[in-house]
Structure 1
Amino acid sequence: MSVAANNVHHVIPLDQRPDFKFSSDNLISLCGNCHDKMHDRINNKLTKLGVEWVKRMNRIK
């Protein structure tokens, strides 16, 4: 079963790097449930999974 990826996630959050807003290297398409796994919606911080993606992106650059 496939789920539509209808959310764009900024791997490095915009409040940290607003200059990466439209950088394709910083964007991933996710479904709503997967996007929610990247953020703690209560405190607006990245989850452990979200931080892992930031580390992954920093290795690429």
Structure 2
Amino acid sequence: MNGFHKTTKWKRKRVKILRRDEYRCQESKRYGKTEPATTVHHIYPIELYPELALTDWNLLSLSARKHNAMHIRDSHELTELGKYWQERVKDKFEEWREKQIGRYSTED
């Protein structure tokens, strides 16, 4: 766990997301199964996109088992399942990215 995950902002956001998802694993829910969620996953990894660390659409409630299936722990590389969830929020990511590009291009 890095320092970010110990912050009050993250702890509050984590609870908010778990409540939003009714403490249910969203990956299991896709298959009509109920599994308790104990982890909140960053769909676009915090290591690559720290600006999205507290963005609701980038956060997903998962069971520990399903969270481990999202990325390879040693490399932080996403698995196919992790990439699937990125595809699901791709429109929101692209919208965010366009705003970032627009903000930087108007600063000149």
Task: Compute the TM-score of the two structures, normalised by the length of structure 1.
Answer: 0.85
Instruction: Structure 2: state its 5+ residue gaps.
Output: 1-32, 93-108
Over the aligned positions, Cα root-mean-square deviation in angstroms equals 1.4
Task: Return structure 1 stretches of 4+ with deviation > 2 angstroms.
Answer: none
Hey, what does 1:23 align to over in structure 2?
55
Aligned to 1:8, what secondary structure does the other structure show? strand
Cα distance in 2 between the residues matched to 1:14 and 1:56? 18
Pick the structure with more strand per residue.
1
Paired residue for 1:50, among 82, 86, 98? 82
Aligned AA for 1:30? Answer: L
Which one scores higher on RCO, CA 8 angstroms, separation ≥ 6?
A: 1
Cα distance in 1 between the residues matched to 2:34 and 2:80? 25
Larger Rg: 2
Aligned to 1:35, what secondary structure does the other structure show? helix
Aligned identity (percent) is 35
Cα distance in 1 between the residues matched to 2:88 and 2:35? 24
Q: Shift of residue 15 of structure 1? A: 1.4
Aligned AA for 1:21? Answer: A
Corresponding pairs, count? 60
